[in-house]
């Protein structure tokens, strides 16, 4: 730079150096932006993968709960049938016991 009447006058060499510095700064900023965009894309991909996993898990849970419900309903029906059969058995035992007692009294 040259000094003229108390002012600094930039030379062509100084201007080139300033431009080179600005270009390097711009390039570094562009590279940083590019890295940030890549990281954001990777993060988005990971989130998408996690959402897919959660959806799959929810679907499997829904399927399993349907199977549990079906098994519980079947078990309830079996329980009711068993209850009726046990009641019939005791009615038969009571009737036989009562008939046995009547024969003894006669």
As a whole-number percent, the residues of the chain with pLDDT over 70 amount to 84
The structural domain count of the chain equals: 1
Please determine, for residue 80, whether its predicted confidence score (pLDDT) is greater than 90.
yes
Count of CB atoms within 10 A of residue 14's CB? 13
Q: What is the pTM of this model?
A: 0.53
How high does pLDDT run on average in the chain? 88
Report the first-to-last Cα separation within the chain, whole angstroms: 141
Which token pair is 105?
A: 């009294």
Q: Determine the structural domain holding residue 18 and report its residue range.
A: 2-105
**For residue 9, what pLDDT band results from cuts at 50, 70 and 90?**
low
């Amino acid at each position: 730079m040259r000094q003229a009447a108390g002012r600094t006058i930039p030379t062509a060499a100084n201007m080139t150096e300033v431009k080179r510095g600005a270009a390097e700064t711009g390039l570094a900023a562009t590279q940083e932006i590019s890295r940030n965009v890549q990281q954001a894309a990777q993060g988005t991909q990971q989130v998408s993968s996690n959402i897919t996993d959660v959806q799959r898990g929810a679907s499997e849970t829904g399927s399993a709960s349907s199977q549990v419900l079906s098994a519980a309903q079947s078990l309830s029906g079996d329980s009711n049938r068993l209850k009726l059969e046990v009641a019939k058995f005791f009615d038969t035992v009571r009737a036989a016991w009562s008939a046995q007692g009547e024969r003894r009294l006669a």
